[in-house]
Amino acid sequence: MLQVSWSRTQGEPMLSLVIDGESCMNVVSFDVVKKLGLRTSKHPEPYTLHWFNYYSEIKVNKQAKIKFAIGRYEDEIQLDVALMQTSHLLLG
């Protein structure tokens, strides 16, 4: 597991991202989408997340494209948007 934080010039954290190799889903939090000003689109097949919290359901009905780079590698991925405190991006 890798934790990455982006900061503004004043040092105030803009957002934190946890990259977890254990997950098999590509999900980004609504807060990250909002802070980065990303456009969303309707999810073609809306669904409900149950694995995140045993006692409640998280509805997923939007998607967002995110460009990312790791070293010299650059790519763009379609992520499901969910109202949660963490985000997951499946690499590989």
Q: Is pTM, for the whole model, over 0.75? A: no
User: Residue 58's closest CA among 29, 82, 78?
Assistant: 82
Taking the C-alpha atoms of residue 22 and residue 15, their distance in angstroms, rounded to an integer, is 21
Quick one: pLDDT at residue 16? 52
> What is the number of structural domains in the chain?
1
> Per the domain annotation, does 91 fall within a domain?
no
* 57 located within any domain: yes
What does the radius of gyration of the chain's CA atoms come to, in whole angstroms? 14
Task: Answer whether residue 13 is part of any domain.
Answer: yes
Helices (H), the chain: 30-36
The alpha carbon of residue 12 and the mean position of all alpha carbons in its chain are separated, in whole angstroms, by: 20
User: The domain containing residue 68 runs over which residues?
Assistant: 2-82
Asked if residue 87 belongs to a domain, the reply is: no
Extract the tokens encoding 6. 């982006």
Amino acid symbol at 21: G
User: Is 34 within the bounds of a domain?
Assistant: yes
**pLDDT tens over the chain, length 92 residues:** 444 555 444 555 555 555 556 667 788 888 888 888 889 999 999 998 776 555 678 889 999 988 877 778 888 888 888 887 655 555 65
